[in-house]
Amino acid sequence: MRSLISILDFSVEELDKLISTAKDIIVHPENYVEKCRHKKLATLFFEPSTRTRLSFEAAMLELGGDVLGFSDSNSSSAAKGESMADTAAVLSCYADIMAIRHPREGAPYVASNNATIPVINAGDGGHNHPTQTLADILTISREMGRLNDLTVGLCGDLKYGRTVHSLIEAMARYTGVKFVLISPEELKVPGFIRFNVLERYGIPYQEVSSLEDAMPKLDVLYMTRIQRERFDCAETYERLKDSYILDTAKMSQAKEKMCVLHPLPRVNEISVAVDSDPRAAYFRQVLNGKYMRMALILMLLEEAQRDPIRRGVDTSGYLRDRVCTNPKCICQVEQELPQLAKLTDPEANIYRCIYCESKV
Ligand code: NCD
């Protein structure tokens, strides 16, 4: 049985396969309307969402399946103190597959170790958001005709923006991709992306603060919202919130053939006047998200049918004496979880928490 917790759980071949299934769904939707008949998707949303939850629900309904779940953690037993592990075990009795969004980093991973059905990470804190990446890569593929040989600019909150982390992890594995990381000093990409992905695989990247200067070289511009809810200090958010605003003047500096993506919701970072520019792909990206989630549900259910056994985590190579200090990690609130750290950089002897990937 497989789950999707990090986009690194899928190989490039598997990502390409999902893209081709999604493209087939777009052309022949009638072939898919019965594919998940009598199957149920549970959506467990412990954090606000419009697109992701409804997109999962629409995807399952278009496959002929059913959905159940909640979108407010206060209405679930988590409010009574139930652990993620128990919630996952219980939901496995009601549904065939589940999608979880949680403010705690690593929560869907914990669920996947205790569920007997596939688990999909629909966003965990400021960590990862692999299904948004599926929407993003289908959009890039459809808009640009390729996923190789692209200069990808990511702009805004690269520290807390979980969609940014998963997108870098995915795109870094396509050949000829370069990144321009555009952010204020305080919101640069975190270590688990910088060291585990960009440095480790020698991916070309630049870190800059000016969107104007970066504009002319980009094939893809990925704008993001400054993630207010992840800031510890309200003043810092207020100071940084309007760091970048993409407007028609900046668009006039961009290549004629490029595309602008945004995971949405936007707050102020893209002026509404840009919406009518043919390069603005963010609403098409929303629709692509539904097709990719359809392809994902199909793939995970097929895999679960072929191989229904959940593989336990092999913890033999992990250290148990390092303590995770990330206040947003699931291990801070669920006392039963063992502290486990894996060696991610043997040369520098760096260990990271297995739940949230913070350095320990
Ligand atoms: C993103 C998220 O939740 O991380 N939204 C989404 O899923 N489409 C981006 C955001 O909230 O800024």
Distance (Å) from CA 203 to ligand 1 centroid: 25
Q: What does DSSP say about strands 178-182 and 205-208: parallel, antiparallel, or unpaired?
A: parallel
pLDDT, tens only, 275-284: 999 999 999 9
Other Cβ atoms within 10 Å of 133 Cβ, number:
28
At position 88, the amino acid (one-letter code) is A
Q: How far is CA 223 from CA 35, 161, 264, in A?
A: 35, 10, 9
Catalytic residue among 39, 101, 127, 310: 101
pLDDT, tens only, 311-349: 777 888 899 999 999 999 999 999 899 999 999 999 899
Band the pLDDT of 306: cuts 50, 70, 90. very high
From the CB of 123, is ligand 1 less than 6 Å away? yes
Are 154 and 167 spatial neighbours (Cβ–Cβ below 8 Å)?
A: yes
pLDDT, tens only, 251-275: 999 999 999 999 999 999 999 999 9
Mean pLDDT of the residues in the chain: 96
Q: Which residue has the tokens 């963010």?
A: 282
Q: Ligand 1: which of 50, 52, 57 to mutate, most ligand atoms within 8 Å of CB?
A: 52
Instruction: Look at the chain and count its residues.
Output: 360
Per the structure block, which two tokens stand in for 39? 């199957």
Is position 250 annotated as part of the catalytic site? no
Q: Which residue has the tokens 């002319």?
A: 216
Give the pLDDT confidence score for residue 79 in this predicted structure: 74
Band the pLDDT of 127: cuts 50, 70, 90. very high
Give the pLDDT confidence score for residue 111 in this predicted structure: 97
Band the pLDDT of 15: cuts 50, 70, 90. very high
Half-sphere exposure for 23 (CA within 13 Å, toward CB): 14
pLDDT, tens only, 197-255: 999 999 999 999 999 999 999 999 999 999 999 999 999 999 999 999 999 999 999 99
State how far the Cα of 23 lies from the Cα of 288, in Å rounded to an integer.
Answer: 9
Question: Does the predicted TM-score (pTM) go above 0.75?
Answer: yes
Who contacts 197 (Cβ-Cβ below 8 Å, separation ≥6)? 168, 169, 172, 203
Give the pLDDT confidence score for residue 113 in this predicted structure: 94
Contacts by 93-96, CB closer than 8 A, 24 or more apart: 94/40, 94/42, 94/68, 95/40, 95/41, 95/42, 95/68, 96/39, 96/40, 96/41, 96/65, 96/301, 96/304
The H or E element that residue 261 is part of is strand 259-261
